[in-house]
Structure 1
Amino acid sequence: MKFQGGKGLELSGTSVLAGVFCFIAASISSAGGIGGGGLYIPILTIVAGLDLKTASSFSAFMVTGGSIANVMYNLRAQSDKFGGKSKTLIDYDIALLSEPCMLLGVSVGVICNLVFPEWLITVLFAIFLFWSTFKTCGNGVGHWKRESEEHQLESGNIGYEKLENGVIQNGNCSESEEVKSLEEPLVGTEEGKEEFGGYPWKKLVVLVMVWFSFSAIYLLRGNRYGQGILPMKPCGVGYWTLSLFQIPLAIAFTAWILGRKEAIACQGPNEKGVNKFIFPLMALLAGGLGGLFGIGGGMLISPLLLQVGVAPEVTAATCSFMVFFSSTMSAFQYLLLGMDHTEAALIFSIICFVASLVGLLVVQKAIKEFGRASLIVFSVGIVMALSTILMTSFGALDVWEDYSSGSYMGFKLPC
């Protein structure tokens, strides 16, 4: 496939090579439940020769393809590590608490992307991803050590009692509190009241409502160039009114779920309670940074969830579930606003779909074989490290090009 202007697409060596690299990137990203946009965009621009705008639209479709594979797998995947009970890996409460604020954050981040100079975006991106990579790898090492202790317990080398979920706790909580906290999800739920067939349909319906609500705003408002469903002056009163309406919308959806949930007093291997208010704040931060840097929020919220003590399996499954809603929204907008090379984008999304399934099956088999859920954390760390190198280098080259050409490098107006 040859990408030149609006001409036809032809099969070429560079497009095949880009497809191979994207396959590898998707298979690695899928294990951590993150979108992989931080890898797709550099591959498509450097290897396939796409411009940044086209690469971003392709990336939205590719992340969607990978997230569909993840969601299909994780909807049926369950774990028996929670007090002997078999529970789904997806924490729907975290997703429900996070998604409205994440979508709001994306809009704020996109505006900041238009205002901030390129050099500032590159510096912020490098700092945040370096910190996230460092913390993620640290969490991976910590999980690996706990798993090693668990294996020693199972082999009888240590004379301590083995907890059902294989996590050794040394906190201030009593043993009964520890076991009880491990039997419960991170955010309290009302089991049995809204589940049918093993799925919390009421929460799923609310998530779909959130998706449609924000999608409707994006499509009605259009972009800053006036490309939308309604005839609207670019960056006029109507444009900003619809944009600001996202704030009460996110608050309303978040308040609905916050009003019916309770925080867990003792939860997770990090020996500290996890308050329910932290998830919307983390999602707002991740969404804002994702919109600012032009990548999916899944890669940014994953290390934050790991940091507060969410299990690696739950983090991966929940992030992929959240990425599904945000990536499909982006792809849907690109379609309705008339993107180019749709057929090629679908081909690349199918490649990522297959690669994600392969990556999931390989990693899950390795986890069952070796009992190392920390492989998921290391997968996230690898993707973030590669993204840090590629995206930072890519941004630095753009900054140097602007500096060499004498382009304006200060703050700009959003319109």
Structure 2
Amino acid sequence: MRIIVLLLILVLASAESCQKDEDCAKYYFCNVGTCKHKHLFPLEGMEILGTVLVFVCSALANAAGQGGGPLMSLILLVLFNYDTYVALPMVQLIILGGSGIGFILRVPMRHPTRPRPVIDYYILALFTPPLLVGASIGVILGLIFPAWLILALLTLVLIYITYASATVSVKIFRKENAERAKVAEQNLIAEDEDKPTIVDESSIEITPDLKKIIDSEKRWFPLVPIFIFILVYSFAVFTSFLRGSSNHPSIIGVTQCTPAYWIMNLLIFAGFGVFTILVTCYIVYNTRKKINLGYNFDSYDIIWKCRPLTVCIIFGLLAGIGASLLSFGGALILAPVMLKIGLRPEVSAGTSTAIIVLTASISIIQYAIAGKLEMVYGLWFFGFSLLGSAIGISVVKGIVNKFKRGSIMVIVLTILMGLCAILIPAYGIVDMASKGTTDIGFRPYCS
């Protein structure tokens, strides 16, 4: 995937010819006439600072259900002076480390009010096909769009997401206040009557079919959505080998930009479309079945109808394009979307983590096929991202449980996105101005 390659245009001296180390940029040395990045050890001052920032950003980002891709890109490009083509695969590895441990930590977590996982595997299954289609489209657009257009798109997306997150955080905070006031009022009534308020659950009729649904939701991994996810993910990986890339030939010998290549792409997109329709039909059927059986929905549960389904599919497609084209995990767009359609913040954060694992792992597979992974530095960052994520999620979970406010995670997300909205475009503009880039027009995909 060409994630931010055209965005920041940092073709540094690593690719330049040299005769001695002084001819190369900072952190580079001359090796057989070519500037190459230094080895991991010994770490220098800015590299130590960068490692600490990877740890801190991973803690904040994953606590809010994000991977922190834009900030990680900035750290590697500025503090480690890495070439963009080398930094981007490592960013995906960093994201996978943080989101991977975040996913593992959230798997046993339970829903705040219902006996089911905090991760909504049904909405994950719904997002998966359009996310992967969008990622494929983003690869193509990344090779065509000029840098200024990608920078403009990234700026607009980050500003919108910051605004949407801030709006949702205020809405959820107010809803939490209303719920607290209602509970306090009920407690006062109970005290006046000198008896506790008790919900008479015996009046709720649980039929065998309804009990079957409730029991299936108690599992850590509900079987049907997990099966759908694995099937679609396997399809995406297999077709990536079928399609091939400029650096890795197709396993069936299809050449890029030939009629057979474009026919294969259309068939792959059609396959994802079929998966999307099937998942949509299943989710609608499952929702209607619950309603007919008298299922006790949480106040934040989504009643799946045309509007929320359409919103999720469209934004899932856009999130996939953004993950591939603009260097952020799909959850950066989808987390505010899930909150906007009414999902509980704790559930949104857990589901977002699973989405990031999906998009980052697909990116890493493609980078590995192309032989673009710098493993030593990558594993170093992977470890600190993993550790930061584990600490950040645990600390924020403790704060949320103590104050009973899921809005805390949305506030953290808003702060993080606001930081990205300021730093990333500002750095990109300054860099392009200093480079005096002439990359202002669209480029042919098959050049």
Q: Normalized against structure 2, the TM-score is what?
A: 0.78
2:53 pairs with 1:38: no
- SS of 2:241's partner is helix
Q: CA separation in 1, counterparts of 2:400 and 2:217?
A: 29
Cα deviations across residues 180-199 of structure 1 (Å, max 9, x unaligned)? Answer: 9xxxxxxx998268668442
Which is further off, 369-378 or 191-200? Answer: 191-200
Q: CA separation in 1, counterparts of 2:38 and 2:79?
A: 19
Structure 1 segments unaligned to the other structure (5+ residues)? 162-179, 181-187
Q: CA separation in 2, counterparts of 1:101 and 1:108?
A: 10
* CA deviation after TM superposition for structure 1 residue 353, in Å: 1.0
* Match of residue 196 from structure 2: none
Contact 2:116 2:217 in 1 (8 A): no
Pairing of 1:98-247 with structure 2 (within 5 A):
98-156=127-185, 191=213, 197-226=219-248, 229=251, 231-247=253-269
* Match of residue 111 from structure 2: 79
* Match of residue 9 from structure 1: 40
- SS of 1:136's partner is helix
Pair member with larger Rg: 2
Could you tell me which of 368, 374, 385 is aligned with 1:335?
368
Cα deviations across residues 101-148 of structure 1 (Å, max 9, x unaligned)? Answer: 011011112212222221111112111210110110111112122222
Q: CA separation in 2, counterparts of 1:98 and 1:321?
A: 11
| Alpha-carbon distance change, 110 to 267 in structure 1, aligned in 2, over 3 angstroms | farther
Contact 2:86 2:373 in 1 (8 A): yes
Contact 1:97 1:280 in 2 (8 A): yes
2:396 pairs with 1:363: yes
Q: CA separation in 1, counterparts of 2:372 and 2:42?
A: 20
Q: CA separation in 2, counterparts of 1:16 and 1:221?
A: 40
Q: CA separation in 1, counterparts of 2:110 and 2:215?
A: 20
* Match of residue 350 from structure 1: 383
| Alpha-carbon distance change, 97 to 337 in structure 1, aligned in 2, over 3 angstroms | same
| Alpha-carbon distance change, 17 to 222 in structure 1, aligned in 2, over 3 angstroms | farther
* CA deviation after TM superposition for structure 1 residue 246, in Å: 2.6
Contact 2:302 2:341 in 1 (8 A): no
Contact 1:224 1:235 in 2 (8 A): no
* Match of residue 63 from structure 1: 95
* Match of residue 280 from structure 2: 258
Count of aligned pairs between the two proteins: 385
Q: CA separation in 1, counterparts of 2:403 and 2:262?
A: 53
2:443 pairs with 1:412: yes
Q: CA separation in 1, counterparts of 2:247 and 2:108?
A: 43
Contact 1:97 1:257 in 2 (8 A): yes
| Alpha-carbon distance change, 199 to 391 in structure 1, aligned in 2, over 3 angstroms | same
Q: CA separation in 2, counterparts of 1:228 and 1:32?
A: 38
Quick one: which amino acid aligns to residue 400 of structure 2?
Answer: I
* CA deviation after TM superposition for structure 1 residue 37, in Å: 0.6
Quick one: which amino acid aligns to residue 128 of structure 2?
Answer: E
Could you tell me which of 321, 325, 331 is aligned with 1:298?
331
| Alpha-carbon distance change, 160 to 98 in structure 1, aligned in 2, over 3 angstroms | farther
Contact 1:89 1:314 in 2 (8 A): yes
Q: Give % identity.
A: 24
Structure 2 segments unaligned to the other structure (5+ residues)? 1-25, 30-35, 191-203, 205-209, 292-296
- SS of 2:116's partner is strand
Which is further off, 26-35 or 3-12? Answer: 3-12
Cα deviations across residues 133-190 of structure 1 (Å, max 9, x unaligned)? Answer: 01101111121222223333344499799xxxxxxxxxxxxxxxxxx9xxxxxxx998
Q: Normalized against structure 1, the TM-score is what?
A: 0.84
Q: CA separation in 2, counterparts of 1:191 and 1:144?
A: 32
* CA deviation after TM superposition for structure 1 residue 332, in Å: 2.1
RMSD: 3.0
Quick one: which amino acid aligns to residue 42 of structure 2?
Answer: L
